[in-house]
Amino acid sequence: MAVHRTVVAVACAAALACPLLVSTANATASPAVHGSPSQSEPPPKQAVARGSGGAVSSVNPYASEAGLEALRKGGNAVDAAVATAAALGVVEPYSAGIGGGGYFVYYDAKSGKVRTIDGRETAPAGMGEDAFVDKSTGKPIPFDEAVNSGLSVGIPGTPATWEEALADWGTMGLGQALRPATRLARDGFVVNEEFRAQTEMNEERFRDFSSTAELFLPGGELPVVGSRFRNPGLALTYKELGRDGADAIYHGDIGRDVVRTAQKPPVAPGSDRTVRPGLMERGDLAAYETLHRAPTQTTYRGHDIYSMAPSSSGGTTVGEALNILESSELSPKDRTQALHRYIEASRIGFADRNRWVGDPAFSNVPTKELLSKKFGRERACLIRPDSVLKSPVAPADPHAPGGGCTQGKGGKEPYEGPSTTHLVASDRWGNVVSYTLTIEQTGGSGITVPGRGFLLNNELSDFDFTPVTEGVPDPNLPGPGKRPRSSMSPTIVLKDGEPQIAVGSPGGATIITTVLQTLVNRLDLGMSLPDAVAAPRISQRNRTDTEAEPAFLKTPESEELKKLGHSFILAPETFTPSPEIGAVAALEFLPDGKVEAVAEPKRRGGGSAMVLHEGR
């Protein structure tokens, strides 16, 4: 089959335990039973694992175990990453799956190079700049109508990303990499509290789509914790993908069903929801291509930081903020001042992100200039040790020397959905993957492809419906074939040319701040990687208030920052009914040659870190 790829030279998102169900006739909810890994209780969760032979970390133990199975069979980090991602599409279907897209960052041990795949969803050819504007009023359509519609469904990039990564860098074919996930979908697994809670958060809109209600509300009820779900529809879909490759979606029967569902969403009888039809055509699927992009790259206190270039804003914004922070010393001896500068650097980085970053095929994105050390030093001059910048801060022009020290007044914060998932993987040869994938917000568009076992994304709602600032060019308006801006920040850190850390997170725009704060915790404040991941989080995105987790508001630094002028609001409930920011998966290569895999100890129900050979 044809490989969906274009080589481009560019300078530079809950541990769920529920597969999807084909129909109520196939839906089964039964008590957990013991047996093989796919038929028993999930593998035990652990937030930290140290050892050798390779490592995997994700939000779900079933998924991490699928990646570890690939390593056991002689596969490399790329094989493990695809196996893990496919399993996440089964057990974490509200955050990821073949109906979405993502960004794949890979360190190749043989060449010592970092390479990336942009597998972001694209807009259909029929989507214009005013696609989300009501033609009768001239105003943006209600956001809820955009999300829960075929109009927000972008052309999926995940299947092409998996096939491309395996073809270029893996050792397995797609069919072999999909086997653990296919088995999970076929045999079923155990529902946990997080899955039930997320289903309940989405219950109202899920009931408005007949195929989604059949899958996630079997018998019309919420799934029962401890029961088992099986998904023969998704198992068959994965088998078809494994047999025919990604062509099954981009040129085949799966794609036919995707287009039919997006064009005419299966609205449940009696629903009064306004559901707009999608613009996707079969030709849009056939034209989709993954893009090989040069990664973003900057240095920070002796480390090389690699991440994802635009269409993602993750690499440019994390990199710019680190360049700003490098102008001052951050020390665990003065955590208040370190956090103050972290907040301000993030505020400034977001101001520039919102103005300049979009799909580089449609606008001139100044990636190199945003990541220049000189621009970082100019922007750092805005930060004062004893006062707080007033938001929104205006963006600076990275093309104009000396213009970074003017605060000005910026525009409103654009919206970005909060879900997504992230994984990391390494192998015994020293290859490393940091991979973030998504279907946008939790539950995506809410629309399930009938009989196919997966949800469609709502990624096109990441476009700005109208310009963020009147009279200022907006690089993130819709357009035919355009990729919406993302905040996904899969990151790999090298030290002396060797991989040291891989890190990433879900969480919409908070992905950027989560990755940035984790790096500051680890590289500046002297925390171990597990402590850096577990530490309470705050997120400033060029707004008046800084979002904070409850645990942070109880710290002494919180009160000291308030005295400087910072104001905090509680982080929203996104993945589960508790205020959380991000859900990190990470790993670090230790001085003794071992690898330390790290997952969240509590957020999103706790993640799953595994290594092939356990060690002290």
3-state helix, strand, coil in the chain (%, to 5): 35, 20, 50
- Choice among 122, 290, 317, 420 that is catalytic: 420
Pick from 101, 209, 122, 112: which is nearest to 164 by CA?
Answer: 101
Q: Is 222 helix (H, G, I), strand (E, B) or coil?
A: coil
Does 6 qualify as catalytic in the annotation?
no
Please check whether residue 325 is in contact with residue 341, taking contact to mean a CB–CB distance below 8 angstroms.
Answer: yes
Q: Could you tell me the end-to-end alpha-carbon distance of the chain, in angstroms, rounded to an integer?
A: 46
Compute the Cα dihedral for 411, 414, 418, 423 and give only its sign: negative
Number of CB atoms found within 10 A of residue 51's CB? 17
- Cβ contacts of 36 within 8 Å, gap of 6 or more: 187
| The 3-state secondary structure of 268-291, one letter per residue | CCCCCCCCCCCCCCHHHHHHCCEE
DSSP at 404: T
| Cα(276)–Cα(554) distance, integer angstroms | 45
| Residues in a beta bridge with 299 | 304
- State both tokens at 407: 């605060």
Helix H or strand E segment including 232: helix 232-244
Helix H or strand E segment including 227: strand 227-229
Q: Please provide the size of the chain in residues.
A: 616
Number of CB atoms found within 10 A of residue 198's CB? 27
Pick from 232, 272, 267, 237: which is nearest to 252 by CA?
Answer: 237
| Cα(539)–Cα(562) distance, integer angstroms | 15
Pick from 287, 332, 324, 319: which is nearest to 123 by CA?
Answer: 287
Helix H or strand E segment including 369: helix 367-370
| Cα(492)–Cα(519) distance, integer angstroms | 11
> Pairing mode, if any, of strands 585-589 and 595-599?
antiparallel
Please check whether residue 170 is in contact with residue 75, taking contact to mean a CB–CB distance below 8 angstroms.
Answer: yes
Please check whether residue 538 is in contact with residue 581, taking contact to mean a CB–CB distance below 8 angstroms.
Answer: yes
Number of CB atoms found within 10 A of residue 555's CB? 17
DSSP secondary structure letters along 58-90: ES-HHHHHHHHHHHHTT--HHHHHHHHHHHHHH
| Cα(372)–Cα(298) distance, integer angstroms | 8
Please check whether residue 47 is in contact with residue 599, taking contact to mean a CB–CB distance below 8 angstroms.
Answer: yes
Catalytic sites, residue numbers: 420
